[in-house]
A and B are shown apart, each in its own frame.
Chain A
Amino acid sequence: MLLSCTDVRKTFGPNVVLDNLSLDVDEHEVVALIGASGSGKSTLLRCVNLLTEIDDGVVRLDGEDITDPRVDADLVRQKIGLVFQSYNLFPHMTVLDNITLAPVRVHKRPVPEARSQAMEWLDRVGLADKSGSYPDRLSGGQQQRVAIVRALVNSPRLLLLDEVTSALDPELVGEVLTMIRELKGEGMTMVLATHEMGFARQVADRVAFLDSGRVLEQGPPEQVLGEPVEARTRQFLARIIEAGRL
């Protein structure tokens, strides 16, 4: 097991966002987190990346308790890539500099090597001609792909993706989807939060439905999305179908 969250609790004041949540992710597995807005999907990803401190429970990566305060959080984050819902590219750096920042400054790779690796990735995702551009000159889909590449060049053991398609139009969703399918083919372990059930169905090995701060139901996409057991899951999916997003 690569990632294992056990009884994770997270509160913001009186608001209990994660309530003894448990979730395990195997190596090479792709897990989709679904759930209503505000159900804590982003919060869970931030907790796993140690950007947010949990209030109780244990998160293990490769068996190591990464929520132990004696653990160096910077070292843990080097093994976990996180792609944000709003891209969060660095606006004062070119695309190439955004991508090579961590390889050069954190992993101490020589600049030419880091650059050529970044160029290979940009070429793969069809953005080689944008390497010198600043992020505000790119479209949403292009920024999203740069953000994914920026996380990937650190060769993370685990990639966390937060609604990577929510800001994109259907055509751009296709671009990002293709990229994620390729990563899956290469054996990347991924946890992705999403509102797109079609997306979850296409790439996920397992779908986990978050409700009231815990994983209420999980299983293969056909089962959870097709014939859910829990009433809450059925309600949620019914609303999604109403909104035409299945």
Chain B
Amino acid sequence: MSSDTTPRPHQPSTVQRERIAYRRKRAIRSTLLAALSTAVVGLLLYLGVTGSPGWERVKASFFDWDIAVKALTGRDNYPSILSGLWLNIRLMVICTACALALGLLIAILRTLRGPVTFPVRALATTYTYSFRGLPLIIVIYLFAFGIPGLRLQGTPSVTVLGAAAIVVTYGAYLAEVFRAGIESVHPSQVAAARSLGLSYRRTMRHVVLPQAIRRVTPPLLNDTVALQKDVGLISLAGPIDAIRAAQINQAGTANFTPYVVAGVLFVLLALPLIGVTDWVTLRAARRQNAGN
């Protein structure tokens, strides 16, 4: 019905060629300017820091190469930051998955209508309200030290309890992100799905959630990056993760380099996800601009 016009070979006119040349020249100039200003700022920062009166002492207690290597590999009977990091990585993966699942579940519960589901809805709302306000450190203390204090049979280890604290806290944030996504889907989409005979559940599953999740993927990933970093707070509960290992090293050597090592490792771990977040955000923005 609609016939596409076949593209003919096209010679750009003189005006267009001139425009292209001008744009290219302008692009080169701004790239050079950017490189130059970056170099100047970098140099000034370097001179400012290394030229400061206390630099030698800071360098010795924060950037000692030997201590870094020792802390990393765990020589001289100190716990190794690297093996502590393995615990962090496992916790990151598990906590992220559980927090996303919990957040989605809570968000769906909060969208339910009708008097029968009122208690569930009220519970879900209370949960998101209280756990978004509660500092994570306090939740970790409550979980890791409070729950074992009950002396119940089969109380899990502090590591599991600390992880649960992280999941519960981040679940509350993620639930609100998911809910914002669900509410951003226009009611006419639900009407269209219901008019086709889809049940409420199928409408959620096939029409509302796919659109909602796509829309909130950038903020979801952003919160996931924050979660990854906050997994380090589990060291407060006692298990020897990268940060706890760094702390033990620091206590033994009276040198802060192990913390710097752990910090660098955390940044490296977060980089891939940050990259993915940027890419997804960019793609979402592009798609929005491409649509009418």
Contact = CB atoms under 8 A, between A and B. Distances in A.
Given A90-B207, A136-B292, A102 B191 contact: no
A101 interface: yes
Contacts of B211: 90-92
A150 B207 CA distance: 14
Contact of A90 (B189, B194, B197, B291): B189
B132 to A, nearest CB: 29
A74 B194 CA distance: 7
A80 to B, nearest CB: 8
Contacts of B188: 84, 86, 88
Contact of A105 (B189, B191, B202): B202
Contacts of B195: 49, 51, 77, 80-82, 84, 151
A126 B1 contact: yes
B14 interface: no
Interface in B63-83: none
A74 B197 CA distance: 5
B197 to A, nearest CB: 4
B1 A136 contact: no
B113 to A, nearest CB: 13
A138 B292 CA distance: 10
A74 B199 contact: yes
B184 to A, nearest CB: 12
A80 B194 CA distance: 11
A139 interface: yes
A106 B1 contact: no
Interface in B168-221: 188-189, 191-199, 202, 206-207, 210-211, 214
A101 B291 contact: no
Contact of B197 (A102, A126, A127, A142): A102
B285 to A, nearest CB: 16
Contact of B198 (A46, A51, A82, A105): A105
Nearest to A103: B196
A191 to B, nearest CB: 14
Contact of B192 (A74, A88, A175): A88
Interface in A88-102: 88-92, 101-102
B2 interface: yes
Contacts of A101: 193, 196, 198, 206-207
A106 B198 contact: yes
A194 B213 CA distance: 36
Given A88-B188, A106-B202, A136-B291, A77 B1 contact: no
Contacts of B292: 136
Interface in B95-130: none
B214 A92 contact: yes
A229 B191 CA distance: 37
B214 to A, nearest CB: 7
Contacts of A82: 195
A105 to B, nearest CB: 6
A231 interface: no
A92 B210 contact: yes
A75 interface: yes
A137 to B, nearest CB: 9
14 contacts: A51-B191, A77-B197, A78-B197, A80-B195, A82-B195, A84-B188, A84-B195, A88-B188, A90-B189, A91-B211, A101-B193, A101-B198, A102-B196, A107-B197
Interface of A: 46, 49, 51, 74-75, 77-78, 80-82, 84, 86, 88-92, 101-102, 105-107, 126-127, 136, 139, 142, 150-151, 154, 175
- A-B complex: 10 closest residue pairs judged by Cβ atoms: A78-B197, A88-B192, A102-B196, A126-B1, A82-B195, A77-B197, A106-B197, A136-B291, A88-B188, A92-B210
Interface of B: 1-2, 188-189, 191-199, 202, 206-207, 210-211, 214, 291-292
Given A90-B192, A101-B196, A151-B196, 16 more contacts: A51-B191, A74-B197, A74-B199, A78-B196, A80-B195, A81-B195, A84-B188, A88-B189, A88-B191, A88-B192, A89-B192, A90-B211, A101-B193, A136-B292, A139-B2, A142-B2
